[in-house]
């Protein structure tokens, strides 16, 4: 039994574009390294563990399999779906990685939106963002982002975790139906996806550190999947999404006036049956 669950198929090493990514990123990120793990519990957890032991140099950590991936609001991130029929064990059906780096923006508000803008735009123009940072294709989730931060010996450190469905996947274990990148780019694989996303993401994070959410506001608005739609908030309020404000908080017009939602612990859904 190989690691994908298919009997008698030897797993061929995946060719990750570590060098190309390093060459693109290292000039602007001193001390940057790339590591690939065949298997790990969670790339975010690993970088947070390292940060707690003082390892704060910029790093990209990629995992071919993630056994305990974490999502926002304490959810799981399941990326270990089986490879589609006909593949031979040398592909990763999902891309999971975390970028860890010291980061000290004047204001952290809107970082997750800026990351979402960068990842979506580096992948395909048909992708949209569901506040705060899910990436959607036609109202189905294609990618998720989990950002964790901490202060270690006086250095602020951020771990930006990204999970992208690359190849077709079923809805098992998911609360909403998934989308995958190969729907838009049939020949794409996880390695190519990584190379498309990471250099632009590093650049976006540096722009955010220097200038905050401002440079991303219009770009977010152009991709906003909720704008003008009826939404339901997790605490039960209904309203109409009206875009985001200057620091990336979601504006929702409700029966009792405009609500500004800045907590990423509030989840927002388009209301069923309404546009
Ligand atoms: C969400 O949609 O709730 C966020 C999902 C984030 C998943 C990624 S996969 C790589 C990194 N490691 C994790 O454990 N989570 C993030």
Residue with tokens 């123009």: 125
8 CA to centre of ligand 1 in angstroms: 31
Specify whether 49 is catalytic: no
> How far is Cα 90 from Cα 134, in angstroms, rounded to an integer?
28
Question: Which ligand 1 atom sits nearest the alpha carbon of residue 143?
Answer: 2
CB atoms inside a 10 Å sphere around CB 251:
17
Confidence at residue 10, expressed as pLDDT on a 0 to 100 scale: 54
The per-residue pLDDT for range 232-253, each reduced to its tens digit, is 988 888 899 999 999 999 999 9
The per-residue pLDDT for range 201-232, each reduced to its tens digit, is 999 999 999 999 999 999 999 999 999 999 99
Per DSSP, the residues of 44-113 read HHHHHHHHHTT--S-EEEEES-BSS-B-GGG-B----PPPPTT--S---SEEEEEEEEE---S--TTHHH
Listed range (19-23, 71-75, 149-153, 223-227) with the worst mean pLDDT: 71-75
Q: Is the pLDDT of residue 82 over 80?
A: no
Confidence at residue 199, expressed as pLDDT on a 0 to 100 scale: 98
CA angle 90, 93, 95 (to 5 degrees): 105
The residue whose CA is least distant from atom 2 of ligand 1 is 144
Share of the chain above pLDDT 70, in %: 89
71 CA to centre of ligand 1 in angstroms: 5
> How far is Cα 80 from Cα 48, in angstroms, rounded to an integer?
22
Q: Is the pLDDT of residue 200 over 50?
A: yes
Q: Is the pLDDT of residue 271 over 50?
A: yes
Reported as a pLDDT band with limits 50, 70 and 90, residue 171 is confident
The per-residue pLDDT for range 4-36, each reduced to its tens digit, is 444 444 556 799 999 999 999 999 999 999 999
What is the chain's mean pLDDT, rounded?
90
Ligand 1 environment, Cβ below 6 A: 42-44, 69-72, 75, 77, 96-98, 134, 144-146, 161-163
CA 11 to chain centre: 27
The per-residue pLDDT for range 91-118, each reduced to its tens digit, is 679 999 999 999 999 999 999 999 999 9
Q: Is the pLDDT of residue 152 over 90?
A: yes
Specify whether 259 is catalytic: no
What are the C-alpha distances in Å from 30 to residues 26, 48, 57?
A: 6, 20, 8
Reported as a pLDDT band with limits 50, 70 and 90, residue 196 is very high
Specify whether 128 is catalytic: no
| C-beta of residue 153 within 8 angstroms of C-beta of residue 54 | yes
Reported as a pLDDT band with limits 50, 70 and 90, residue 173 is confident
> How far is Cα 61 from Cα 70, in angstroms, rounded to an integer?
15
């Amino acid at each position: 039994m190989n690691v994908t669950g298919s009997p008698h198929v030897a797993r061929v090493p995946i060719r990750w574009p570590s060098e190309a990514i390093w060459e693109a990123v290292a000039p602007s990120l001193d001390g940057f390294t790339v590591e690939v793990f065949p298997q790990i519990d969670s790339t975010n957890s690993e970088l947070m563990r390292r940060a707690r032991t003082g390892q704060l140099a910029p790093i990209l950590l990629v995992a071919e399999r993630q056994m305990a991936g974490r999502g926002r609001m304490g959810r799981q991130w399941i990326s270990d779906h089986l490879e589609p029929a006909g593949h031979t064990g040398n592909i990763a059906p999902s891309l999971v990685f975390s970028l860890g780096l010291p980061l000290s923006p004047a204001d952290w508000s809107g970082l997750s939106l800026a990351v979402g803008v960068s990842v979506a735009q580096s992948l395909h123009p048909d992708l949209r963002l569901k506040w705060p940072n899910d990436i959607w294709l036609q109202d189905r989730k294609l990618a998720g982002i989990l950002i964790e931060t901490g202060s270690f010996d006086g250095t602020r450190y951020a771990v930006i975790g990204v999970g992208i469905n690359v190849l077709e996947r079923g809805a098992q274990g998911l609360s909403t139906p998934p989308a995958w990148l190969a729907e838009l780019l049939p020949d794409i694989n996880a390695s190519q996806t990584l190379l498309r996303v990471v250099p632009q993401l590093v650049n976006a994070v540096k722009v955010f550190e220097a200038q905050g959410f401002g440079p991303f506001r219009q770009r977010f608005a152009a991709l906003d999947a909720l704008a003008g739609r009826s939404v339901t908030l997790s605490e039960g309020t209904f309203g109409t999404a009206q875009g985001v404000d200057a620091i990336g908080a979601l504006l929702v017009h409700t029966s009792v006036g405009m609500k500004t939602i800045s907590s990423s612990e509030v989840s927002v859904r388009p209301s069923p049956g309404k546009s």
